[in-house]
Amino acid sequence: MTRFTLLVLLFFILFQACSQEKKIHPSGEEITIGILAPLSRVHRKYGYQSLLGWEFANREKNYLSNGDKIVFEVVDTQSSAKGTKEAFERLLDKNVTAIVSFVGSGNMLALKEMLRKTKIPMIATLATNDEISKLNDSISQICMSNQRQALVAAHYIKDEKFINSVGILYYSESPYSRALAIQFQNYYKGIHGKEAFFIDFSQKDAFRHLSPENLKDVEMIFSVLSSKDTLKVLKKLKKSSIKLLLSDGTFSSAKESVKDELFYFNDAYIIEHYASNMSGNRDYKKIQKLLKERGLEDSSYAFLAYDAYQLLYYTLQNCPKHEQKCINALFQNSDIIEGIAGNFNMENAKVKRNIYIDRIEDTQLKKEIVTY
């Protein structure tokens, strides 16, 4: 055997040794994480999409480096405030180390009194209302907040699209919709934008206000409506040049509720956590494939759940005794973590991450700009 061959063989052995991950020896200890998920009734598909992203991340990394195993207990919130309260109580009885919530702002706010009494560490993946992280010092929000979304929307319309007159559509009866619309209204006026109208779609005669007279000076509408009402507005405006900027999650909801008429959403803009044409990390395509195989839509729900798991894993790795004080601290303020659509970190219980402004083309989210 020549000297060159020996060197090649030695290099190969060293490369193989370096490329092998350190073998983890199970400690026999389990860390149980509670999951609040709507798995029945109106929001069940959001729950299943979220759970898929979570399960995928757990399957990839279910052991900590010390050998402790991460397991989870899922409880159905039944897509209601009452069901969310009951599910939360059941998880507390199971003595979980932390809770991850796949429910929206309304159902999270229904837990207000219970959360004030309980200091269990918690990650909210879909609840964007800014008040949620203020309910106690144990909650973090992995999704963009209303405040951040409203700020990005206002500056996009004014500074990127050079639009000076905008209309706003919202529901006064929805805590999420009302809060986001008011924050956008304040930011837009603060940068010298003109508000053409502020229409409450909780009122029966709301569509009457979308008259030619009210729309004559409007170039864009910021909409915080359901996908079904958004579809009605798009149909009404289909012959006009007015564009809609939709709030996060609207298109994901539309894929489930208005499938046959999804093409009406083409040419609308939307604020999202991802875009269909983004590169993503190494797991992005795998999760997309899994969603398709299970008949679920490609949406931000699975990706936000994946990111929530990355935050949990980072936290537990750095809190080897799994003490509540340590977990709370890292849920609130973390180092940089690799997420599905780019790196993110937590700062004062709010996530710092990329936000996409997408244009809907051929019923897909095409990235227009990315802000951080």
pLDDT of residue 90 exceeding 60, the answer is yes
Inside any domain, residue 25:
no
Kindly state whether residue 369 falls inside one of the protein's structural domains.
no
Out of 272, 295, 319, a domain closes at 272
Q: How far apart are CA 45 and CA 53, in angstroms?
A: 13
- Within a domain: residue 22? no
Out of 247, 272, 297, a domain closes at 272
φ, ψ (nearest 5 deg) of residue 132: -60, -45
Shared domain for 191 and 253, answered yes or no, is yes
Tens-digit pLDDT profile for residues 330-372: 999 999 999 999 999 999 999 999 999 999 999 999 999 998 6
Region 283-289 average pLDDT = 93
The burial of 2, by beta-carbon neighbours within 10 Å (0-12 exposed, 13-18 middle, 19 or more buried), is given as: exposed
| CA 178 to chain CA mean position, Å | 19
223 in Cβ contact with 246 (< 8 Å): yes
Residue 371 lies in a domain: no
Residue 14 belongs to some domain of the structure = no
Instruction: Give pLDDT, residue 7.
Output: 39
| Residue 363 forms part of a structural domain | no
The secondary structure of 307-330 as a DSSP string is HHHHHHHHHHHH-TT--HHHHHHH
Query: Are 211 and 240 within one domain?
Result: yes
213-261 residue pLDDT tens = 999 989 999 999 999 999 999 999 998 999 999 999 899 889 888 888 9
Structural domain including 119 reads 30-144+280-353
Q: 181-225 pLDDT, tens per residue?
A: 999 999 999 999 999 999 999 999 999 999 999 999 899 999 999
* Mean local confidence (pLDDT), 262-280: 93
State whether 140 and 289 are in the same domain. yes
Backbone phi, psi, residue 256, to 5°: -90, -35
Asked if residue 140 and residue 157 are part of one domain, the reply reads no
Identify the CATH number of the domain in which residue 136 sits.
3.40.50.2300
- Do 184 and 235 fall into the same domain? yes
User: Is the domain of 160 the same as that of 266?
Assistant: yes
* 161 within a domain of the structure (yes/no): yes
Domain count, the chain: 2
**Measuring CA to CA, which residue among 50, 128, 140 is closest to residue 332?**
140
* Phi/psi-derived region of residue 350, left when phi > 0, alpha when psi is between -120 and 50, beta in every other case: beta
How far apart CA 239 and CA 362 sit, in angstroms, is: 18
In a domain, 44, yes or no: yes
pLDDT above 90 for 45: no
Do residues 309 and 192 both lie within one domain?
Answer: no
pTM to 2 decimal places: 0.89
Same domain, yes or no, for 290 and 261?
no
284 and 140 within one domain: yes
Whole-number average pLDDT of the chain: 91
Residues 289 and 173 in one domain: no
Q: Please tell me whether residues 306 and 343 are part of one structural domain.
A: yes
Q: Residue 43 and residue 222: Cα distance in Å, rounded? A: 24
Q: What percent of the chain has pLDDT over 90?
A: 80
Same domain as 136, residue 39 = yes
Q: What is the pLDDT of residues 296-332, one digit of tens each?
A: 877 789 999 999 999 999 999 999 889 999 999 999 9
- Among 214, 240, 272, residue at a domain's last position: 272
